[in-house]
Amino acid sequence: MLVIGMITGISLSSAQSPGAIHGKVVDENNQPMEYASVWIDVAGVPFGVSTDSLGKFILKPVNPGTYTLHCSVVGYNELQSNIQVFPNQVSFANNLKLSLNDTLPTCVVIERVVPLINPEETSVRTLTAKDIAHSPNIRNIDALAGSMDSGIKIGANGEAYVRGSRADAVMYIVDGVKVTNGTPSVPGAAIGLLTVYTGGVPAKYGDMTSGVIIIETKSYFDLYYEYLGSH
């Protein structure tokens, strides 16, 4: 078994706003599994933790993006689950169920669907790169944001208004950096995640009278995996 603990030598911080992964590992009888190894690969290096006595784990900080979450315990089949991590948000991977390995070694893969609305933060909407690629508004960031929430209106000149505020009151953040000269010129194909706050804006963004539109551009690894998937 590959035993994974917190790897302190890896820095996951960057200009991006990191998120976190919370979850729970159980057995076939839904009993919590202590000391299960849970990890993701970051640039080819595992970064992970072990579960506590309740089978729970917290993995942070994790830069926004799509990861394969691995889970293993001696005598059980390894479990793999894809998970999307969003900026400043917690992604949940609850009830990761491991099955006994009484035959040849196998690996169970779970495919997760990313919801548009986070049930933990209903004032937040997020579009993934896959959603953006299939949107007719891919060339217009404000129109993309407007398609996510009815509280965002698009003016005659294409500018975004959040819940009736002025257009210039909307804050744009690109990879953790505030943009001060209006809507940023980021190609839709270069966006990995687009997150919109229409309420409950985190304190780190200051005293806001409007909303926040957060753009996380694709990393080298996002582009590399897209290349592999197209060949």
Q: Enumerate residues 6+ apart whose C-beta is below 8 A from 48.
A: 4, 5, 6, 7, 37, 38, 39, 40, 59, 70
Write out the two tokens for 223. 């582009």
Average pLDDT score over residue span 81-85 = 88
Model confidence pLDDT, tens digit, residues 199-223 = 777 777 776 667 888 888 887 767 7
Average pLDDT over residues 101-111: 61
The alpha-carbon radius of gyration of the chain (Å, integer) is 19
pLDDT, one tens digit per residue, over 141-179 is 888 888 887 778 888 777 788 877 776 778 888 888 888
What stretches of the chain adopt beta strand conformation (E)?
19-26, 37-42, 45-50, 56-62, 65-72, 78-85, 90-97, 107-110, 117-118, 121-128, 152-154, 160-162, 171-174, 177-179, 191-197, 212-217
pLDDT above 90: percentage of residues in the chain: 21
9 versus 88: the higher-pLDDT residue is 88
What's the pLDDT tens digit per position in 40-52?
988 778 999 999 9
Decide if pLDDT at 105 tops 70: no
Residue 227 has pLDDT above 70, yes or no: no
Residue 107 has pLDDT above 70, yes or no: no
Domains of the chain: 19-110 (2.60.40.1120), 117-224 (2.170.130.10)
The answer on pLDDT for 97 being more than 60 is yes
Mean per-residue pLDDT for 129-149? 86
C-alpha to C-alpha distance for 90 and 21, rounded to whole angstroms: 6
Round to whole Å and give the CA distance between 94 and 211. Answer: 30
